[in-house]
Structure 1
Amino acid sequence: MSELYIKNPLIEQRADPWIYKHVDGYYYFTGSVPEYDRIVLRRSTTIQGLADSQEATIWRKHESGLMSANIWAPELHYIDGKWYVYYAAAHTSETRDGLFDHRMFVLENEAANPLDGEWVEKGQVITRWESFALDATTFEHRGNRYYVWAQKDPAIPGNSNLYISLMENAWTLTGEQVCISIPEYEWEKIGYLVNEGAAVLKRNGRIYMTYSASATDHNYAMGLLTADEDSDLLNPDSWMKSPSPVFATSEANGQYGPGHNSFTVSEDGSQDILVYHARSYKEIVGDPLYDPNRHTRVQIFQWTEDGMPDFGVPRADSDLASRS
């Protein structure tokens, strides 16, 4: 097993980080920018190289109407030979201010390198309700493609729950849309009743789905859902929720509000890596959403003897951040 050295924070002022290692040998990165006005991409043959690689703006918000404010949490996926970016955007008008008025949208690019070519708007992903919706991700399992997202159910209290659906294509849902998690434990309901930011990892005969909960300050933390790989993923009973957070603030290490994660692997593929954002201070002036210092961080994680992920605690910032 090779040694891996990565400086934390890896990329400053990039929240909701997404790192994907493609078959071309490149790591691709995207995340929310503090201005919430555009979608950016960068790539490198190493994770550490993402810190200094040139960043390209691939799309900017509209001047008004749909997709005109608060561009949040883009994710880059490669599906059936094309690149797709899933993102949330709000609607502004004379009567709508755009905050917590998000819907989910998709961009498509046929180029081999997603930093080249043309990004085409595929439109809004239509769900059961026309309500606050964001943080979409997608994964394939046994020939089926699934879409997982966070949305407000207008009929029940709370800000967002997690839903899953099959996909007809990369921008269209089909069949039943099922709720698989709502904020129920106290640690999920601090400030806001939130389940959001799902990320999927398939290992050891199981489907693991991390998510983030509570307000985006130091209370933000990651939870875990687990399903057997042979189960019906559209059955809510297939998903078991861990009662406690699996990754949370570490006062000792000066890491606050870790969450909205993704997963990748080391260059040689031997080590699993957790990608997340966190702040290096607890006290925030004003609304946490407008504090720009949720930085992208990464760390290796391990597996327990019974096959469960063990994320440990967020490690302290350092010049030499990760070694095993």
Structure 2
Amino acid sequence: MSAIKPLIPQRADPFIYKHTDGYYYFTASVPEYDRIELRKAKTIKALSSAETVSVWHKPETGPYSELIWAPEIHFVRGAWYVYFAAAPTREIKDELFQHRMYVISCHDADPLSGNWHFDGQIETGMDTFCLDATVFEHKGILYYLWAQKQNDIQGNSNLYIAEMKSPTEIKGEPVILTKPEFDWEIRGFWVNEGPAVLHKNGKIYVTYSASATDENYCMGLLSIDDQADLLVTDNWHKADQPVFMTNEAAKMFGPGHNSFTQSEEGEDLLVYHARNYTEIEGDPLWNPDRHTFVKKLNWDQQGNPVFGTPADIQDIISA
């Protein structure tokens, strides 16, 4: 089987936001991990060739001067925000990088040509490794959802949720939603990270990525009734099997760190990264070949998402 062509090569942790102005906005981790890059287009397919604009560069030194990871662009309450993680150095301490979470904002109509302001760190009350923040609004409440290390829980990261006081500040105590516990969540590393939110059919679904970021990387699923209290851990249901994983026959390895968007016709789409091979030379961190793919997300008769496999790429027109 020939390699499946990505929508956008060498862009990991992809995030596509469909705005009310008719444009799709795309951001992702760039191989250099040194900036936040945006592009926009009228169609999903056109994102592949759209002009890229670097809206923020890391400083030379300081607490957020290295390893800019997993940016997400959101339009929240009248302004643009990009949430991302960054570290003070590339040094690993206690088997972890030193990332914390930050946010920049733009109050102009077009985030590619507008002025961006560095708003600072988003504090969670835990001074530990954290990353992969996303935000969503439900019943008029803005929520922050992210991955973080908790010192008394084994592993690299768990998923947490909190209500937000504003788009740049949380309030209240973080609530844990899931920690690595199943065998498919602890291969290589004990990881729950990269949450993404989808609200449909009376439920809120949260996908997340688990295990090491090689061919073991895969996606799990949380769900909750949309009338339930999102800040009560026991209200959430966790699937005991991964919903999206490596397909060796198709040479699609380690699919994960996804986001959701909709096609021009309003169909739900799954956006994710994957590699086409497993033989990584050198440090996997600096391997640039995690590519952005987009596929159709299906639904079963009970109204639950059906993810299929990363080989189902024919469901959506790629570049």
- Alignment TM-score, normalising by the size of structure 1: 0.93
Structure 2: gaps of 5 or more residues: none
Matches of residues 305-324 of structure 1 in structure 2 within 5 Å? 305-315=301-311, 322=317
Query: SS in structure 1 opposite 2:88?
Result: strand
Match for residue 15 of structure 1? 12
Question: What is the CA–CA distance in structure 2 between the aligned matches of 1:168 and 1:279, rounded to whole Å?
Answer: 38
Match for residue 188 of structure 1? 185
**How many positions carry a matched residue from both structures?**
315
Query: SS in structure 2 opposite 1:50?
Result: helix
Query: SS in structure 2 opposite 1:196?
Result: strand
For residues 126-180 of structure 1, give each alpha carbon's deviation from its aligned partner in whole angstroms, at most 9, with x where no partner exists. 0121110000000000010100000000122110000000000001000121000
Cα deviation for residue 321 of structure 1 reads 5.5
Q: Tell me if structure 2 keeps the 8 A contact 1:161–1:181.
A: yes
Cα deviation for residue 288 of structure 1 reads 2.0
Given candidates 204, 209, 220, the residue that maps to 1:207 is: 204
Cα deviation for residue 8 of structure 1 reads 3.5
2:310 maps to 1:300? no
Query: SS in structure 2 opposite 1:261?
Result: strand
Cα deviation for residue 322 of structure 1 reads 3.9
Query: SS in structure 2 opposite 1:66?
Result: coil
The alpha-carbon distance between structure 1 residues 95 and 22, as it changes in their structure 2 partners (threshold 3 A), is closer
For residues 32-81 of structure 1, give each alpha carbon's deviation from its aligned partner in whole angstroms, at most 9, with x where no partner exists. 00110000000000000000000000001111111100000000000111
Cα deviation for residue 91 of structure 1 reads 1.0
Match for residue 160 of structure 2? 163
2:276 maps to 1:280? yes
Query: SS in structure 2 opposite 1:11?
Result: coil
Query: SS in structure 2 opposite 1:174?
Result: strand
Cα deviation for residue 84 of structure 1 reads 0.2
Question: What is the CA–CA distance in structure 1 between the aligned matches of 2:312 and 2:304, rounded to whole Å?
Answer: 24
2:224 maps to 1:227? yes
2:24 maps to 1:27? yes
For residues 224-268 of structure 1, give each alpha carbon's deviation from its aligned partner in whole angstroms, at most 9, with x where no partner exists. 000000111000001111111100000111100000000001112
The alpha-carbon distance between structure 1 residues 80 and 220, as it changes in their structure 2 partners (threshold 3 A), is same
The alpha-carbon distance between structure 1 residues 209 and 93, as it changes in their structure 2 partners (threshold 3 A), is closer
Match for residue 120 of structure 2? 123
- Alignment TM-score, normalising by the size of structure 2: 0.95
Cα deviation for residue 287 of structure 1 reads 2.7
Given candidates 286, 291, 294, the residue that maps to 1:290 is: 286
The alpha-carbon distance between structure 1 residues 40 and 247, as it changes in their structure 2 partners (threshold 3 A), is same
Question: What is the CA–CA distance in structure 1 between the aligned matches of 2:203 and 2:288, rounded to whole Å?
Answer: 36
Match for residue 263 of structure 2? 266
The one-letter code sitting in structure 1 at the alignment partner of 2:293 is: R
Question: What is the CA–CA distance in structure 2 between the aligned matches of 1:190 and 1:98, rounded to whole Å?
Answer: 15
Cα deviation for residue 305 of structure 1 reads 0.7
Q: Tell me if structure 2 keeps the 8 A contact 1:39–1:59.
A: yes
RMSD: 2.0
Structure 1: gaps of 5 or more residues: 1-6
